[in-house]
Copies of this chain bind each other. A is one copy, B any other.
């Protein structure tokens, strides 16, 4: 159980998330994708479209994790300041990336040409490489352990697809879910005992109220398939012995 754990953090950049106007979708999709790559998402920060706030979050997190992702603020408008803020955080100048410029020139040939505003999307921190964007031309940016991604979820998804299998990771965290129509407070001791008895496993308890009834799903997580299965079976047995029917896969 001393295998190296690879970790990542995410900085979500955008006044639209902090104002409540837009429901973020990127935390969940990046978390799910990272887990498949064998990388754990350990922390997320949501910050405003503000140079200092972005730079502080980026500098705090890039040193602490193997990988740091950002979403948002890489479009053509005045409120898109992510590249400038990250270049400032890294202490490098912003340059126009020749390949990004060429991509945008091709993309906008039939769309009114590459204007000054559109050329903003070819700007990168010096030393950066590009992440392909199959949907809208403007690429994502990789610089060191930092991955600068779009904020619009389907474009982010395309960039993640381009990165799939490219990042070194460790064993993915496996999980199984079981569900019961029970108030979690009724079986709290049993849950804690099951976790203590199974080293290398964590059990999360997620209560809900649905169809007028109280229930909970229990998510068992481990990097080790055998331990995961043993813990899940032990917990299932304990819940059934206490008189509760267990639904494999959760309710």
A residues bordering B, Cβ < 8 Å? 12, 15-25, 27-35, 40-49, 53, 75-79, 111-112, 115-118, 120-121, 135-136, 152, 154, 173, 175, 183-186, 188-189, 191-192, 195, 202-209, 219, 221
Contact = CB atoms under 8 A, between A and B. Distances in A.
A129 B246 CA distance: 38
A78 B18 contact: no
A115 B183 CA distance: 12
A92 B173 CA distance: 35
A188 B21 CA distance: 21
B219 A16 contact: yes
8 contacts: A19-B221, A20-B30, A20-B32, A27-B46, A45-B46, A77-B184, A78-B192, A115-B186
Contacts of A184: 75-77
Given A42-B48, A204-B16, A115 B185 contact: yes
Contact of A207 (B35, B75, B118): B75
Given A15-B221, A77-B192, 9 more contacts: A42-B48, A49-B204, A75-B207, A78-B203, A79-B202, A79-B204, A111-B183, A112-B186, A118-B185
